[in-house]
Amino acid sequence: MTRRKSSNYYRLYLILIGLTLLLLITFFKLLNQTPSTTSSPSLTIQQSLLVSINVRLPKASPQASPDTGEIVIWNPTRKLTWSHFRAQPPKNTVSRSEISTRIHNLWLPETHCQSLSSNQFTCTLKVVQLAIRAEMNPFLSWVIPEAADLELLEHEQLHFDLTEVYARKIRTATRPLLGLTETATGISIQKAQDSAFKKLEDRLNFIVIPLQDELNHEQTRYDQESQHSLNQKKQQEWKEFIRGQLK
């Protein structure tokens, strides 16, 4: 009797282990596969993605602190100093200095995905946050040490200020995109999400790219007319114009 009971318990033990292993294998398969309607006819996935779109400009890229070397964000109370210009001047350059700025666009879409069948999914993306800022990169900005005077520094500061002018224009122009939704379908959640994302990205670029091109043109015109700060009359005119735009 004792042996039979032990044998029965042993068989039951083996069966339980087998069932546990089967459940674990099934669980991990479901995690690694796209869900189907047989197991979840109305599976919904919600997530948020932080999307960063960098709009590069002629005098353009990020900016840094003189102490840490990190990217510096435009601030009306914090002006640039020559310590922000950390890159080495190019060999044989004819320019006295160069600043690298950019408009950095950050947008946060909320994602809702649902399975329609075993091989068809739909995803809806909604823009829930937009953050647009002007930045300057010290590691792409440089100055010839002998030319590092206050007049030239103000000239480069105005390049940064002009970038901020257009960051504000883009901020205003893209504000209606908050709450915007786009929906797409695909054979997988990833493909459906990518298609919806592309639609939102196209909507954003439709607004941003023309303003980016306009800024590129204005930055070039500013350099040409002011002769990189050497034409004092034109430099003053640009200073008044740009500062007026930032009021």
Q: Is the pTM of this model over 0.75?
A: no
Q: Is residue 17 part of a domain?
A: no
Given a contact cutoff of 8 angstroms between Cβ atoms, the answer to whether 122 and 183 are in contact is yes
Q: Is residue 18 part of a domain?
A: no
pLDDT digits (tens, 9 = 90+) for 209-232: 999 999 999 999 999 999 999 999
Query: How many other C-beta atoms lie within 10 A of the C-beta of residue 98?
Result: 19
pLDDT at 70: 83
Q: Is residue 25 part of a domain?
A: no
Q: Which helix (H) or strand (E) holds 79?
A: none
Q: Is residue 28 part of a domain?
A: no
Q: Is residue 4 part of a domain?
A: no
pLDDT digits (tens, 9 = 90+) for 142-166: 999 999 999 999 999 999 999 999 9
Given a contact cutoff of 8 angstroms between Cβ atoms, the answer to whether 109 and 124 are in contact is no
pLDDT digits (tens, 9 = 90+) for 77-134: 999 999 999 999 999 999 999 999 999 998 899 999 999 998 999 999 999 999 999 9
Main-chain dihedrals φ then ψ at residue 46, nearest 5 degrees = -120, 135
Residue 123's domain comprises 43-245
Q: What is the mean pLDDT of residues 170-182?
A: 95
Given a contact cutoff of 8 angstroms between Cβ atoms, the answer to whether 125 and 69 are in contact is no
Query: What b/e string do you get for 187-226 counting C-beta neighbours within 10 Å, with b at 16 or more?
Result: eebeebbebbbeebbebbeebbeebbeebbebbeebbeeb
Query: How many other C-beta atoms lie within 10 A of the C-beta of residue 18?
Result: 10
Q: Is residue 19 part of a domain?
A: no
Query: Who contacts 184 (Cβ-Cβ below 8 Å, separation ≥6)?
Result: 122, 123, 192, 193, 194, 195, 196, 198, 199
**In this model, does residue 47 exceed pLDDT 50?**
no
Q: Is residue 29 part of a domain?
A: no
Q: Is residue 116 part of a domain?
A: yes
**7-21, 26-40, 125-139 — which one is most confidently predicted on average?**
125-139
**In this model, does residue 203 exceed pLDDT 80?**
yes
Q: How many domains does the chain have?
A: 1
Distances (CA, A) of 151 to 51, 162, 186: 38, 17, 57
**What is the DSSP track for 185-205?**
EESSHHHHHHHHHHHHHHHHH
142/96 Cα distance (integer angstroms):
9
pLDDT at 21: 62
